Amino acid sequence: MSANIVKLLHASDVQLDCPLRQVGTVPRDTIDLLASATLIAWERLIDAAIAHGVDALLLTGNTFDAAAESLAADVALRQGFERLLEREIPVFVVPGQLDPLMAWQEFPAMPENVTVFDSPWDAAVDLTDSGRLLARIFPVSAVTDISPPEWHRLQGTVQGLRDANAVTVGILWCDRTEGISRPIDTDERRLASVQVLACGQNVPESALPLIDGLVHAQTAPQAVTADETGPRGATILQFDSQRQLSKRFVPLGPVRREHLTARLEQARHRDELCEQMLAMIEELPAVPGEQLRLVRWSFAGSPAVRHQLDFQEATAHELLETLAGLTDQPTGLRYVHELVPLWQEQSVPPELGELWRDYLEYYDERPPLNEDELRQLALELRPQQAASSGPWERGLAQLDPTAVHQRARRYARKWFAGH
Amino acid sequence: MRIDAIEIERFGAWRGFAQTLHPEGLSVIYGPNEAGKTTLLRFIRGVLYGFPSGDAGPGRRTRNSDPMSGSLRVRHRDQSYHVHRTSRGDDAGLVSISGLDIGESPYRVLEGVLSGTDEKLFESVFAVGLPELQEFATLTEDEVARHLYGMTLGPQGQLLMELPRRIERELERTWPKDGHRGLVGELQEKQREFGQQLQGLRPQRERYRTLVRQRNDLDRRISGIKHHVVDLQRQLRGHQFLAKVHPAWTRVRDLRRELAAIPDLRSFPTDGLGRLDRLEADRDAAMRTRDDLHGELREIHKQLQANIQDDSIRRFAGSIRSLSEQRSQWVEAEQHMLELERKAAEHDRELQAAVTRIGPKWTLSRLEAMVDTPEGHGRFVNAATQFQQVRWRTQRRQRKYRKISNLCRDRELALRTELMHLGVDGDSLEQPLNIAKQRLAQLTELGHLQLKAGELRQRAQSIDEQIERMRERLGLPDWVWVMLAFFVLAGIGLFVAGLSASVSTGWLVGLIYMVLAITAGGTTWALKVQFEHEMQDQVAGLREQRNRYDSQRYDIERRIFELIETHGLREVQRNPQAPLDATDGKLISLAADRLAQLELAQRDLQRILDTRKKLSIVRGNLQGYQREFAAARKMWCDTLKSLGYDEVVDVPVAFAQWQAVTQARETRRRGADARRELRGLREDWDRYCQKVSDLGQRMRLGNLDYSKPFAVLERWEGELRAWIHSRQEYRRLLKERKARRVEVEDFQKRVDQLQQQVAALLQQANATDRADLERKLQLFQRRQQVVQLLEQGQRDLESIAKSEPELAIVDEDLSRFHEESNSEAIRRISRDSAGAEHQLEELFEELGTVKQEVKALTTDRQASRVRFEAQQTQERWHDAWEDWYATAVSAETLDTVCAVFEQAHQPEMLAAAIPFLESLTLGKYHRLWTQLGRRQLFVDEENGTPRSAHQLSGGTREQLFLAIRLAMVKAFARQGVELPMVLDDVTVNFDQERSEAAVKTLMDFVQDGQQVLVFTSHLHFAQMFQQHGVEPIWLPARERAENPTMWEERLAG
């Protein structure tokens, strides 16, 4: 650790041992990697903290999923913290949606280098090196205020130059089960005077306080959902001697997710389309540590081009099989190619456009069905099965009526474009 | 297309049936049950689309092996066709259409006549019976439904029709109605399995946490005990420290007391006595040395006086040394000169041998005259390269020429073999080819003619059979004969009665009776003559046709004979005596094969000719290359000559000579170099000898032998060495004398200094003499010893203290120290410490067990895989449910879209069917509609109440479906598909009023030219048409007893 440099490694939404979602069908020999992707990312996070000699590790929520009750998450978390303890690297944790404070409190005693903030009003923790104050770590929420250093100087609470040059870092309190459980209006938001506020990427604006520094919203070290495309990792927040912040991305995720769209107009035949897709794959920047790429493919093109190429669902699958054969390396970087249903990208033929518009018009006129109405619908369509309670009720209970409504709206394209 | 007549030669129950249909368009054919109406319908369908093999049931296969044949006279676009189809009973049959141009395919014509329709469409739309009509009830008959909707609704209707089924399929696949599991069921099952697996893994986490807590607890307890042990050990060390430090502390205390009693001689020289001894000894030794040096000085002086010599040789020492230094060099040079002489002689011999090797005409003078420059070598190599390239090129082209020539020869040989095999002599293939083509054309014509003759023969035979059948039917029907007999008998009776009356009553009455009798007889005769005349006319017509066929056949057979005999066609078959039959295609195939082989041979011949042309061109080119080669050879020889080499064509030989010349010239050069060097060395040697002689003259030594310069030099060197030695000895003695004088002075100073140091030493020790110095030295040494012992004691104490840095030496404790009580305390603390260590070991064992279990738990990552797969299943399950509900919700909106669409876009066909429906139902139903994709028809009653087709009575439903058929036939007609409509007893369920309405509807229907054939077994229905001016065709009822075989066959119809 250099004399005047402060390095903090910020990770968020680690989601230890959370299975990757929307993966689709994958080869059997990739399941182990997919299943342990978040654990591998966590191990790499610890390795990175040690290798870069950071002053502290900040975990800003959703470190694990308490509902999953995962043993592997427990083990990985503890082992990681213990490794950091050996290197005397402190860890600062705020709970999140998935890992509420109660879940942290249920853990057996954590290693002494781990600080789990209990509430957004917890006192700041000083990060020191040989008695020299490097940084002050604050738990922060939209309604907790942190006075500027000038105020403390006026109040005489700053202990001379020793504190004056310390970095003030806020960690956003994300646990909705504790503290703030309702949306905060803009005028209720307080001022938190920190040089940087570390939080997860999916935090809404309303959850942030007003700050005079920078907000660093960190993505997950391993992409869990299909929308999280591109390289994933953590960030080293480095303050130089002038307390200027610079950021350095550290790639961690072994599984990378991508969504690519091939343009049918740019291909005269299927071989050219395959070459185009291969070029798109090769243009993806390589990131160290990648072991598997999950690529979802869409095919954009007018009905005329689709007709010209005789581009059907089976054609697309054949293309993806060919592409997998060209890209997948069983002993190297693995590739899994998945097809987004063609109808999602297809345009409705002009002769059916009127019907399509009618459908959308009628559909938008009707209000979304609530759970009871959906139950009634099931009773009408499946009177025998729905007469008795069964798994269908559980399925219904887990459904989001809004999602059903939106999906049914999207199906307009399925019926009229996918014809 | 319109059917004008039906002619059945044999089909089902029908034999030799011919029936002309009404030209107006509507033909009503009445026949009682089993009269053969349906068979007629099947016949029409069979002639148009092929006889179905099912018409011959399995049990009747053998009897139906007789051909089914018959024809339809049809009119299509103002052109008449006679469509005839013959089948052996188990196939669709062969179609022939009379009046076609040669080469025109009857099937293609028939397809045009049928407007490209297939049998399924004809059967389902145009030619229907009651069963087909009733099948239409649910619109499940795809062909009809497809046309019903597809013809009118366009792609939007098609899609809306298809979507409900598609959605239903998707809903069914996800969550079936019939109680099957479906997708959600399967996923549910998987989910349950994964759930169980995860449930089984869940306690592991609690166990892990418990173990971690145990581990932490054990760590804490171990830490506490460790602290206790540390305390005990600290106490133990304290007591051990006291026991260890007490003796040293006591000794230090005693030494301090003794030290205080000894005076402190701080500046006393501790080594004073020794120093005094050394100073006195040094002083005495210096005095002795000084005296010895004085004696040596005297001896040196004497030696100097004796060592003074002559130094005249000193002036020439430089020249002598210079010449001497060159002597070793000249010794080596002498050897080198001998070696050079030997080499020169050897090179001369080698040169002679090399010249001999080059060639017999080669001499040293020629070798010296050679051009031996790099430019000459370059010319040689370039010329060789160019010549070699030209030669290789020429050789390559020669090889190519030979290759093409060989290829051409091989092909010619192969072609000649093939031609011999084909029996062709000579080089031209044109004539055999023409002959083969003519033969193929003749055989093809022969085949056509034989087929035509066979067909005519068959037709004539058919006419014979028809005439034979007409002859059988020539007699009048029985009832006519009965009537005629009645009339004849009545006439005879009347004539007899007339005679009798004329006799008994009066002649007028008798005349009346006779006239009546003559009238009856005449009528009978007229009827007979009239009937037979018609039959005879038909027979005459058929005979005339037969004669025409025979005449045509005779012409054809004559042409066949001409072809066979004129062109010698019998030769083409293996057995010329056998009748020639070209209809089976074998002869044509043989002729075609021969033609193909000849054409192949022709192509081969053409290729050979092409190759020959190519060969000629290559040959012409080759001559040019030969000329080029000759020019290159001349240039090569000129180059060799100009360079002085022998003129040889072989380049490697020239290169070998070039190398030999080069080697010889190299040998000559080396020999010349050796001689040049030897000459230079000898000149240098002479100069050296002259230098030695000149030096001797300068030294005025005339009696020496200068021809041996080395001996002279050796003598001079000896003299010079002797002079140098004496001179060096003189200088050494001078230096030694000077050094001895300095040493004498130094030793004198040394004696004085030592005397002063003795005095200073005594003064420092504050001693007066040597004895006083010895006494004070004893006191000083004792004090030093005590100090050292004290320091040692202190160091021991410090070392003891350092061994226990945490403990301090406290004088008060040491003064109170009691050895026995201290030992007791040490034993007690040791016991306690051992107990704590034992406890610690137990805890460590327990901790190891816990850690082992923790390790076992942490290495298992199976749960992650299970969780991943469970998540995937959960996602799919959730997605399936969301998809099901979204599809269901979407289907509701689609229903709305369909409903709106169907209000505005009812199939035109249904609209077109409404007038027919109104007409058939006497205006009761005036709206017909359907739900898109549901394939259900609805009619609105007069009061607007919709009723599905299922809810209608049987008759009304059939009227509805008949109305739709009529509308579809009209729609097809508008599209150019004009086919006759055949209705087979479709009105059996109609009541009287609706039957009359049907008659009126059908009569209206045919007004615009559509042909309709109505088969009915209901007399009243036929009579209705009759009343409206449409004369039915009355099919005769057949008696079962009359022809039991025929009856049995007709049952199948």
B956-1005 pLDDT tens trace: 888 888 888 888 888 888 878 888 888 888 888 888 888 888 888 888 88
B177 contacts in A (CB within 8 Å)? 382, 384-385
Closest-CA residue in chain A for B894?
A359
Sheet containing B927-931: which strands, arranged edge to edge?
Answer: B927-931, B936-940, B946-948
- Tell me: do A203 and A308 sit in the same domain: no
| pLDDT(B117) > 70 | yes
pLDDT band for position A418 (50/70/90)?
low
Domains of chain B, residue spans = 184-267+786-858, 272-306+737-764, 314-370+649-698, 374-427+586-643, 435-572
With an 8 Å Cβ cutoff, are A35 and B154 in contact?
no
pLDDT for res B427: 65
Angle between helices B862-904 and A371-381 (to 10 degrees): 70
Q: CA-to-CA distance for B652 and B635, rounded, in angstroms?
A: 16
Q: CA-to-CA distance for B161 and B155, rounded, in angstroms?
A: 10
- Tell me: do A26 and A158 sit in the same domain: yes
- Tell me: do A295 and A337 sit in the same domain: yes
Q: CA-to-CA distance for A129 and B355, rounded, in angstroms?
A: 97
Q: By percentage, how much of chain B surpasses pLDDT 70?
A: 91
pLDDT for res B57: 42
B864 in reach of chain A (CB within 8 A)? yes
Residue B301: which residues within 8 A CB-CB, separation 6 or more? B737
B59-70 pLDDT tens trace: 444 444 557 888
Supply the DSSP symbol for B55.
G
In a domain, A278, yes or no: yes
B886 in reach of chain A (CB within 8 A)? yes
What Cα–Cα distance (Å) separates residue B518 from each residue in B441, B493, B527?
Answer: 71, 11, 14
| pLDDT(B691) > 90 | no
**Nearest by CB: A352 against B156, B177, B860:** B156
- Tell me: do A224 and A358 sit in the same domain: no
**Range B642-659 average pLDDT:** 86
In a domain, A104, yes or no: yes
pLDDT band for position B823 (50/70/90)?
confident
B869 contacts in A (CB within 8 Å)? 31, 35
pLDDT for res B1052: 33
In a domain, A174, yes or no: yes
Structural domains of chain A, count: 3
pLDDT for res B144: 59
pLDDT for res B1046: 43
Closest-CA residue in chain B for A106?
B209
In a domain, A319, yes or no: yes
**Range B478-485 average pLDDT:** 75
> Containing domain of residue A32, as a range?
6-251
| pLDDT(B335) > 80 | yes
Angle between helices B954-974 and B142-150 (to 10 degrees): 60
B185-209 pLDDT tens trace: 888 889 889 888 888 888 888 999 9
Residue B372: which residues within 8 A CB-CB, separation 6 or more? B662, B665
**Adjacent-strand bridge partners of A296:** A259, A338
A34 in reach of chain B (CB within 8 A)? yes
B310-334 pLDDT tens trace: 677 778 888 888 888 888 888 888 8
A22 in reach of chain B (CB within 8 A)? yes
Lowest mean pLDDT among A215-219, B571-575, B928-932: B571-575
With an 8 Å Cβ cutoff, are B177 and A354 in contact?
no
Residue A92: which residues within 8 A CB-CB, separation 6 or more? A56, A57, A58, A59, A115, A117, A125, A137, A171
In a domain, A1, yes or no: no
pLDDT for res B708: 82
pLDDT band for position B250 (50/70/90)?
confident
What Cα–Cα distance (Å) separates residue B570 from each residue in B443, B452, B577, B580, B663?
Answer: 10, 20, 8, 7, 90
Determine the distance in angstroms separating the CA of A347 from the nearest CA of chain B, rounded to an integer.
16
Q: Which two tokens stand for residue B478?
A: 């029985």
A33 in reach of chain B (CB within 8 A)? no
pLDDT band for position A6 (50/70/90)?
very high
pLDDT for res B148: 65
CA B179, distance to chain mean position in Å, is 44
| pLDDT(B483) > 90 | no
Reported as type and span, the H/E element at residue B668 is: helix B651-698
* A–B CB contacts, 8 A cutoff, strictly below: 157
Q: Which of residues 214-253 of B touch A (CB under 8 A)?
A: 216
With an 8 Å Cβ cutoff, are B887 and A377 in contact?
no
Would you say A221 and A232 are in contact if contact means Cβ atoms under 8 Å apart? yes
**Range B83-95 average pLDDT:** 80
With an 8 Å Cβ cutoff, are B864 and A109 in contact?
no
| pLDDT(A42) > 80 | yes
Helix-, strand-, coil-residue percentages of chain B, each rounded to 5: 75, 5, 20
Looking at every residue in chain B, the average pLDDT score rounds to: 81
In a domain, A213, yes or no: yes
pLDDT band for position B272 (50/70/90)?
confident
With an 8 Å Cβ cutoff, are B882 and A407 in contact?
yes
pLDDT band for position B1053 (50/70/90)?
very low
pLDDT for res B862: 81
Determine the distance in angstroms separating the CA of A401 from the nearest CA of chain B, rounded to an integer.
9
Q: By percentage, how much of chain A surpasses pLDDT 90?
A: 44
Sheet containing B68-76: which strands, arranged edge to edge?
Answer: B14-20, B2-11, B68-76, B79-87, B94-98
- Tell me: do A202 and A289 sit in the same domain: no
**Range A20-27 average pLDDT:** 90
A224 in reach of chain B (CB within 8 A)? no
CA angle centred on A171, ends A168 and A173, rounded to 5°: 140
Identity of the amino acid at B647: E
pLDDT for res A232: 94
A358 contacts in B (CB within 8 Å)? 897, 900-901
A397 in reach of chain B (CB within 8 A)? no
Closest-CA residue in chain A for B168?
A381
A153-203 pLDDT tens trace: 555 554 554 456 788 899 998 766 544 445 666 666 777 778 899 999 888
**Range B670-682 average pLDDT:** 87
A389 in reach of chain B (CB within 8 A)? no
Helix-, strand-, coil-residue percentages of chain A, each rounded to 5: 40, 20, 40
- DSSP line for B120-152: HHIIIIIEEEHHHHHHGGGT--HHHHHHHHHTT
With an 8 Å Cβ cutoff, are B872 and A382 in contact?
no
pLDDT for res A395: 84
| pLDDT(B138) > 60 | no
Residue B680: which residues within 8 A CB-CB, separation 6 or more? none
pLDDT for res A103: 93
With an 8 Å Cβ cutoff, are B177 and A23 in contact?
no
**Nearest by CB: B865 against A20, A22, A35:** A35
A157 class by beta-carbon count within 10 Å (0-12 exposed, 13-18 middle, 19+ buried): exposed
- Tell me: do A168 and A133 sit in the same domain: yes
With an 8 Å Cβ cutoff, are A363 and B156 in contact?
no
Q: Which of residues 153-172 of B touch A (CB under 8 A)?
A: 154-156, 159-160, 162-163, 166-167, 171
Final residue of a domain: which of A205, A220, A251?
Answer: A251
The residue that leads in pLDDT, B614 or A87, is A87
pLDDT for res B1048: 39
Determine the distance in angstroms separating the CA of A384 from the nearest CA of chain B, rounded to an integer.
8
Q: Which two tokens stand for residue B948?
A: 């599905």
A391 in reach of chain B (CB within 8 A)? yes
Lowest mean pLDDT among A308-317, A335-344, B86-95, B353-362: B86-95
With an 8 Å Cβ cutoff, are A362 and B155 in contact?
no
pLDDT for res A291: 94
- Tell me: do A209 and A266 sit in the same domain: no
pLDDT for res B952: 82
**Range B671-689 average pLDDT:** 86
Reported as type and span, the H/E element at residue A257 is: strand A255-263
With an 8 Å Cβ cutoff, are A20 and B201 in contact?
no
* Domain containing residue A55: CATH number: 3.60.21.10
With an 8 Å Cβ cutoff, are B871 and A385 in contact?
no
B154 contacts in A (CB within 8 Å)? 351
Closest-CA residue in chain B for A67?
B202
**Range B77-102 average pLDDT:** 79
- Tell me: do A303 and A160 sit in the same domain: no
B922-962 pLDDT tens trace: 888 877 877 665 667 788 877 777 787 778 888 888 888 88
Largest CA distance in chain B: 241
In a domain, A134, yes or no: yes
Closest-CA residue in chain B for A111?
B216
- DSSP line for B586-600: HHHHHHHHHHHHHHH
With an 8 Å Cβ cutoff, are A74 and B875 in contact?
no
**Range B269-292 average pLDDT:** 84
pLDDT for res B1050: 40
| pLDDT(A299) > 80 | yes
B765-777 pLDDT tens trace: 777 777 777 777 8
Identify from A415, A416, A419 which residue to disrupt to test chain B contact, counting B C-beta atoms within 10 A and taking the largest count: A415
**Nearest by CB: A70 against B184, B205, B857:** B205
**Nearest by CB: B208 against A71, A392, A398:** A71
pLDDT for res A416: 86
pLDDT for res B1051: 37
**Range B859-887 average pLDDT:** 89
pLDDT for res B364: 83
- The string over B258-294, giving b where at least 16 C-beta atoms fall within 10 Å of a residue's C-beta and e elsewhere, is ebeeeeebeebbeebbebbeebeebbeebeeebeebe
Final residue of a domain: which of A235, A251, A267?
Answer: A251
Q: Which of residues 349-388 of A touch B (CB under 8 A)?
A: 349, 351-352, 354-355, 358-359, 362-363, 366, 369, 374, 377-378, 381-382, 384-385
Whole-complex ipTM: 0.89
The residue that leads in pLDDT, B1037 or B76, is B76
Q: CA-to-CA distance for B521 and B955, rounded, in angstroms?
A: 54
B617 class by beta-carbon count within 10 Å (0-12 exposed, 13-18 middle, 19+ buried): exposed
